[in-house]
Amino acid sequence: MCIDCGCTPDHQHQHDHETTRKIRVEESLLAKNDRLAAANRTLFNAAGLLTLNLVSSPGSGKTTLLEKTLTDLKERFCFAVLEGDQQTANDADRIAATGVAVHQINTGAGCHLDAHMVGHGVEQFDLDATDILMIENVGNLVCPASFDLGEDLKVAVLSTTEGEDKPVKYPQMFRAAGLMIINKTDLLPYLDFDMEKCRAYALQVNPNLTILELSCRSGAGLEAWYRWLETAQIKKQQLNAARS
């Protein structure tokens, strides 16, 4: 007997029923996350923050990019960093070495940060004294695409060692992002990574994507990223001023 509708289920009905329940649970999970993300966004806007959510597969260079950026721009902006990883405080330790405020969130078995974790994570910071909040998500090109954290923008970091086809293999992530950073360009002479194909694939899934190429190792392209960041922060300030 089916507990929801009282009928005697045949095999197909049972399958349909399980699928319906799975979709309902996912919907309510995401709806709850969206509500908490909206609350985070209200809090971040009230504090005048620019908030970026760095997403990528593991090892693309998110923490290295943050280390460089914080070291080079910490006199210009007041940063705070939330680090997401399943285990360890390794990345938080690397960020702490730059002297910037950081808080590590360990998700255990979880494969992404969610808005609830971020809402509690930022309790560690003086948001009113912060200009830019950087969130380094758990390395994963799938789940973080679906979870809004209240950020202004998702920044997808792709490294040249991963291959140029990732934007079409994981389109949800590159559709959700506003900026794609192609990192590790110093390795291009040793790889068969096709930069033009990568750009074309990314724009195929998201024609509005801004794309920057850089190398955290050589420093090539970092200036353009810093200019992008400064412009985004100024635009956010202007938006906040217009809102208040």
Ligand X SMILES: Nc1nc2c(ncn2[C@@H]2O[C@H](COP(=O)(O)OP(=O)(O)O)[C@@H](O)[C@H]2O)c(=O)[nH]1
Closer by beta carbon to Mg ion, 36 or else 134: 134
Q: Minimum distance between the CB of residue 176 and ligand X, rounded to whole angstroms?
A: 17
Residue 60: CB minimum distance to ligand X, A: 4
CB of 201 to ligand X, least distance (A): 20
Candidates 63-71, 101-109, 142-150, 152-160: pick the segment binding Mg ion (CB under 5 A). Answer: 63-71
Contacts of 147 (CB under 8 A, 6+ apart): 30, 33, 37, 112, 113, 114, 115
> Could you identify the residue written with the tokens 């969206």?
34
From the list 67, 91, 151, 164, which residue makes contact with Mg ion (rule: CB under 5 A)?
91
Residue 164 binds what, of ligand X, Mg ion, none (CB under 5 to 8 Å, by partner type)?
none
Q: Which residues bind ligand X (CB under 6 A)?
A: 56, 58-64, 139, 183-184, 186-187, 215-217
Q: Which residue has the tokens 């110093």?
A: 186
Residue nearest to ligand X (CB): 61
Would you say 36 or 214 has its CB closer to ligand X? 214
Which amino acid belongs to residue 203?
L
200: number of Cβ within 10 Å: 13
User: Which residue, 67 or 148, has its beta carbon nearer to ligand X?
Assistant: 67
Q: CA 22 from chain center: how many Å? A: 26
Residues in CB range of 207: below 8 A, 6 or more apart: none
List Cβ neighbours of 85 (8 Å cut-off, separation of 6 or more): 91, 104, 105, 106, 107, 138, 139
Applying CB under 5 A, does 63 fall inside the site for Mg ion? yes
Window 206-235: residues binding Mg ion (CB under 5 A) = none
Q: Of 58 and 99, which has the nearer Cβ to ligand X?
A: 58
CB of 217 to ligand X, least distance (A): 3
In angstroms, rounded to a whole number, what is the distance separating the alpha carbons of residues 114 and 116?
6
Interaction partner, residue 60 (ligand X, Mg ion, none; CB < 5-8 Å by kind): ligand X
219 binding partner (options ligand X, Mg ion, none; Cβ < 5 to 8 Å by kind): none
Strand order in the sheet with 50-55: 101-106, 79-85, 132-136, 50-55, 153-159, 179-183, 210-213
Q: By C-beta, is 171 or 221 nearer to ligand X?
A: 221
Least Cβ distance, residue 140 to ligand X (angstroms): 11
Q: List the one residue out of 146, 169, 214, 177 whose CA is nearest residue 53.
A: 177
Q: Which residues pair with 133 in a beta bridge?
A: 51, 80
Q: Which is nearer to ligand X, 69 or 183 (CB)?
A: 183
Binding footprint of Mg ion on the chain (CB under 5 A): 62-63, 91
